[in-house]
Structure 1
Amino acid sequence: MSFDYDLFVIGGGSGGVRAARVAAAEGVKVALAEEDRYGGTCVIRGCVPKKLMVFASEYSGMVEDAAAYGWDIKPGPFSWDNFKGKLHAELDRLEGVYRKLLANSGVETFDQRAKLVDAHTVELADGTQKSAKHILLAMGGRPVMPDMPGVELGITSNDIFHLEKLPEDMLIIGGGYIACEFAGIMHGLGVKTTQYYRGAQILRGFDDEARGLICEEMCQRGIDVHLGTNILSMEKDGDKIRVKATNGTERLFDQVMFATGRAPNTEGMGLEEIGVQIGRKGEVVVDEYSQTAVPSVYAVGDVTDRVNLTPVAIREGMAFVETVFKGNPTPVDHELIPTAIFTQPEMGTVGLSEEEAAEQEPIEVYATSFKPMQQSFAGRAERVLMKLIVSKATRKVLGCHIVAPGAGEMIQLAGIAVKMGATKEDFDRTVAVHPTMSEEIVTMKTPVRSA
């Protein structure tokens, strides 16, 4: 049987684009359909614009710090209009790069929605049907909002980059990394920021000591964090939004942002109808080679809800090409993935948390918390954390957790050592780089506790 294409990719985000490009480089005839903007969540609605907003928000404290170092710099107002213009120009540029990469690779693109008709056929929004020997699902995910009265008055992380003006007073609902990152961003940009989270502590799933320090520092910086608090309803009150909370309070906000979870984009795709298995969260169920229950259909990235990180989606896309088109079956390695959370303070983590490791085997914990030189000299009371989780039996470093400015940069390098199976003694043998914050990772000699 002949097909229109060897591979049809649905989704123009990082995972889908990488798979399409790499496959095309192997001489594979590839097409890709994207109903929105090329670049996906990361480039258009996530990592990139968010990180640029993080950079913008961090300048707010620099004038005061500079004065402590002898500089006579006068503070000025932040211009959302100026920043937003440059932000969207950069996103347009990056989308253009993605489009050019696909075109130069020989990938045929369709700027419209696609869904599956059968195991080898996709239907585009204009009714055109295309056949392919293999189909790759890479539709990503989207933010979801709770079912409650007045929810339509709120926004999600997708909308925050398009605000006409910055609110004076904002409520962020949620306790995950997206909620916490945007709480820091909006506070840094001069917005009076409140955060409600229904749980006992923010950043569930991360190391308890690390997330506790982040919450404490967020509060000290002026973010009004309310734990054990959710909202019951929202209603319009003049130009503001009246929010009723489970703690019995009613408050007015200019803007309310929900960061209460994400869902895979699998609805209306015709997947279950052709035999693709969908999990309870709406995710595409795949095996270790990213193959679905339909042999010709594969899936990578957030639509599979495995590890929802851009570099992971890219690796899954490349492993898919190795498996299907290069005859080299390549399972995706989801173990020991270094991760950065761009909260303020920033967090970098790789491996097991103290709690996870203690459930698995006897461990030693090496940790230190201190005021870093640069901030301390400027009169700031901020603290950082360096922490290693070590196996008593093998002496391997099972986890590394850093809460500090630049933690994301540090954890990338520490992640190499942890992935290689470095022991605590390997860390000890490494000469410290002085004076730096990160030197503490190799100078902690005595465990603070065992479990």
Structure 2
Amino acid sequence: MTFDYDLFVIGGGSGGVRAARIAASEYGAKVALAEESRMGGTCVIRGCVPKKLMIFASQAGAMAAEARGYGWTTANAGPFDWAMFRQKLDAELTRLEGAYTGGLVAADVEIHKSRARLADAHTVELADGQRFTSKHILIATGGHPQRPGIEGEELGLVSDDLFLMEKVPGRALIIGGGFIACEFATILQGIGAETVLSYRGDAVLRGFDGGMREKATEQLRLIGVDLRLNSSPVRLERQDEATLVEFADGKQESFDAVFFATGRVPNTGGLGLEEIGVGLGERREILVDEWSQTAVPSIFAVGDVTDRVNLTPVAIREGHSFADTIFGAKPRKVDHRLVGAAVYLRPHEVASIGLTEEEAAAKGPHEVWEASFRPMRSLFAGSEIRVIMKFLVDASTRKVTGCHIFGPDAGEMIQLIAIPMGMGATKADFDAAIAVHPTLAEELVTMRKPSRYIGGAHPDKTVGAA
């Protein structure tokens, strides 16, 4: 059978663009890509990139205060100019979108600015009715924010809306306790909004290491966020120019803006998946095997639409591996077991890879190696906030099974830690490295005694003995 294309990609986010470009430029495949919105997807347009730039903006006031601790008596960040910042942000996102589009054009990928759906196992139909056949189809449509299902939820905003605000709200409510909620609370508080964060749990960042959750929760309060734990809104109501929120305890409060950060769900609606036999999971995610292949052999899926590990670098790796496997005769799977992650709070980030302390204890005897100290830079300026660095070490194999950092630039450090951990490094391998002084990261190679033992009796019967 003759097809119009070797590959048709639905979705112009990081995973889809990488797959299309590699298949076309490196392996000579005839490729098309359909994207109904802006090229670059969630990460570039309404996620990682604008969020990180806003985190930088939110730090400026605190940096000015720190400068005064170093003798700069006139240091003052002044009021935050949202209009100026947003203009620069929009220009940067447009530049990045152009770079993504330009990369596809240079690779001879045919771009369709349209919504697309599957008509059958080898046919894609665009919104205008055009149909194209393809030997392989890759779905990379990502995900979208979900609302909590409460009365008046249409009055609230979602994460996408943060980057489109006309002005900084005077008083804002963030609903949720995951990394998006915590980062958005950090941003809004830092750029001048009186910020309340309401979360139904007893500590933010569910799923992260317990020690990191504790420090993140404490830090949100320290920077001025009004943190309401074990709290849930049940109803929103329009109140003149504001939004009235009723909480589960019956209390009501008024806010200029209410943001839902209550999770994301895969974009699988209206794609025609079930009609042609593509399986979906409980969260409407596309079910795929270790090769990102669906139950329909010609159809594959990568990125957040599969709900495996919902991070941009994972989507990129999945898309690249798909292209290598199908078009490059270089079969490559993606190992989702050891993926680093960072939460960009301020002044200290949270970064993790591998097992949490709770997970390690459940797997058997582990040593916990932990350092806690006040970093030189902020200590000199008068800050009492502490850095935490933690290793989890399997007591039998001596391998480092988890690393967690609460501190400045923790995300940068965890990226480097991912390399030796991926190679199966032991605690002795870290100990063998000579420290670079004075740095924060030197603490990762200078810990000489475990803080505690978890998960059962240590294999070495002398450990912990009196």
TM-score, scaled to structure 2: 0.96
Shift of 1:327: 2.2
Counterpart amino acid of residue 35 in structure 2: E
Which is worse superposed, 314-323 or 104-113? 314-323
Give, as a single letter, the amino acid of the residue that structure 2 aligns with 1:285: L
Residue in structure 2 matched with residue 224 of structure 1 by the alignment: 226
> What corresponds to 1:94 in structure 2?
96
Paired with 2:288 and 2:127, the residues of 1 have a C-alpha distance of: 26
Q: Secondary structure of the equivalent of 1:28? A: coil
Whether 1:168 and 2:174 are equivalent positions in the alignment is no
- Aligned equivalents of 1:355, 1:144: Cα separation in 2: 29
Counterpart of 2:34? 33
Counterpart of 1:48? 49
* Partner of residue 2, structure 2: 2
Structure 1: runs of 5 or more not aligned? none
Q: Specify the code of the residue in structure 2 equivalent to 1:62.
A: M
CA–CA separation in structure 1 for the residues paired with 2:370 and 2:404: 9
- Mapped to 1, the partners of 2:292 and 2:364 lie a distance apart of 31
Per-residue deviation, residues 287-312 of structure 1 (Å, max 9, x unmatched)? 00000000000000000000011111
Match of 1:403 in 2: 406
The corresponding residue for 2:370 is 367
Aligned to 1:279: 281
Amino acid in the other structure paired with 2:386: R
Distance verdict in 2 for CA 1:75–1:121, change over 3 Å: closer
Residues in 1 aligned to 2:77 and 2:279: alpha-carbon distance in whole angstroms = 56
**Secondary structure at the residue paired with 2:159?**
coil
Distance across 1 between alignment mates of 2:75 and 2:282: 55
Equivalent in the alignment of 1:106:
108
Deviates more, 1:397-406 or 1:243-252: 243-252
Q: Which residue of 1 aligns with 2:81?
A: 79
Counterpart for residue 259 of structure 1: 261
Matched, 1:188 2:190: yes
Which residue is 2:16 aligned to? 16
* CA distance in 1 between partners of 2:7 and 2:103 (Å): 17
Counterpart in the other structure of 2:126: 124
Question: Which runs of 5 or more structure 2 residues have no equivalent in the other structure?
Answer: 455-466
Residue identity in the other structure for 2:190: G
Q: 1:326 aligns with which of 321, 325, 328?
A: 328
DSSP-derived class of the 1:203 partner: coil
- Within a 5 Å distance, the mapping from 1:285-434 to structure 2 comes to 285-344=287-346, 345-434=348-437
Q: How big is the shift at 1:181? A: 0.6
Deviation at 1:74, TM superposition (A): 3.2
User: What fraction of aligned residue pairs are identical, expressed as a percent?
Assistant: 57
For residues 69 and 323 of structure 2, what CA distance do their matches in structure 1 show?
A: 54
Structure 1 counterpart of 2:272: 270
| 1:265 Cα offset (Å) | 0.4
Residues 65-88 of structure 1: per-residue CA shift (max 9 Å, x gap):
111101132341110000000000
Structure 1 stretches (4+) deviating beyond 2 angstroms?
none
Residue 247 of structure 1 and its aligned partner are, at CA, apart by: 2.9
Instruction: Report the residue type matching 2:288 in the other structure.
Output: V
Structure 1 stretch displaced more, 246-255 or 354-363: 246-255
Q: Who is 1:206 aligned against?
A: 208
Partners of 2:249 and 2:443 in 1: how far apart?
41
Residue 8 of structure 1 aligns with an amino acid whose one-letter code is F
Does structure 1 residue 67 correspond to structure 2 residue 68? yes
Whichever residue aligns with residue 235 of structure 1, its letter is E
- Of residues 11-20 and 197-206 in structure 1, the stretch that sits farther from structure 2 once superposed is 197-206
Query: What is the CA-CA distance between 1:248 and the residue it aligns to?
Result: 3.0
Corresponding position of 2:463: none
Deviation at 1:371, TM superposition (A): 1.3
8 Å Cα contact 2:245/2:254 also seen in 1 = yes
- Tell me, in whole angstroms, the C-alpha distance in 1 between the residues paired with 2:359 and 2:93: 38
Q: Give the total of aligned pairs.
A: 451
Partner of 2:147: 145
The match for 1:443 is: 446
Question: Does the 8 A contact of 2:60 with 2:77 survive in 1?
Answer: no
- RMSD of aligned C-alpha atoms? 0.9
The answer to whether the Cα contact below 8 Å between 2:23 and 2:29 also exists between their aligned partners in 1 is yes
Residue 159 of structure 1 aligns to a residue in which SS?
helix
Q: Give the drift of 1:335.
A: 2.0
Structure 1 residue 4: deviation in Å? 0.5
SS in 1 for 2:147: coil
Q: How far apart, CA to CA, are the structure 2 residues paired with 1:45 and 1:304? A: 19
Code of the residue aligned with 1:204 in structure 2: it is: R
* Conservation of the 8 A alpha-carbon contact between 2:61 and 2:76: no
